[in-house]
A = this chain, B = another copy of it.
Amino acid sequence: MKTYSITEAAEHFNMTPHTLRYYDKEGLMPFIERTSSGRRVFKEADMEALKIIECLKSSGMPIKEIKHFIEWCSEGDSTLQQRYDMFLERKASVEAQMEELKKTMEVIEHKCSYYKTALDSGTEDIHKTKKVTGF
């Protein structure tokens, strides 16, 4: 079975070995095994767990809460409901973020055309004078 060193794992997720050690220290990776000399060995299952950690992180979840999820995972079936609820919450949160970004995008696009018009006429004053063509 393929395994990864900390550097390989870090490269795979576009982060530094430092960050992976930090995650481990914060309790996000209690499952990682070590070689006899103490080095971390990342297995496929660990890479899969890292993928979920990354996903939760990009959904805006703080590391301390991700840690709770990891703990639930090692507690087995008794925490299935919590874990399901957590992902439903994440889903709602990401949906809200998407909505927020849409609103932000509307304002930005408005400003893009505002500055396009200003640039074409050479001055921002075009938006104050509201020139009417044809007179």
CA–CA, A52 and B114, complex, Å: 13
Whether B104 lies near A101 (C-beta < 8 A) is no
Query: Which of B77, B108, B118 sits near A80, CB closer than 8 Å?
Result: B118
Q: A105 CA to B99 CA in the complex, in Å?
A: 13
CB contact under 8 A between A77 and B122, given known A115-B83, A115-B84: yes
Q: Within 8 Å CB of A88, what residues of B?
A: 112
Stretch at the interface among A3-11, A21-29, A90-98: A90-98
Whether a CB of chain B sits under 8 angstroms from the CB of A123 is: yes
Q: Is A33 an interface residue (CB 8 A)?
A: no
* Given A51-B107, A104-B59, A122-B77, also A112-B97 (CB < 8 A): no
Which residue on B lies nearest to A83, using beta carbons? B115
B-contact bits for A98-135, CB 8 A (1 contact / 0 none): 10110111011101100110110011100000000000
- Docked-complex contact A124 and B77, CB < 8 angstroms: yes
- Nearest B residue to A51, CB-CB: B107
Residues of A in contact with B (beta carbons under 8 Å apart): 51-52, 55, 58-59, 76-77, 80-81, 83-84, 87-88, 90-91, 94-95, 97-98, 100-101, 103-105, 107-109, 111-112, 115-116, 118-119, 122-124
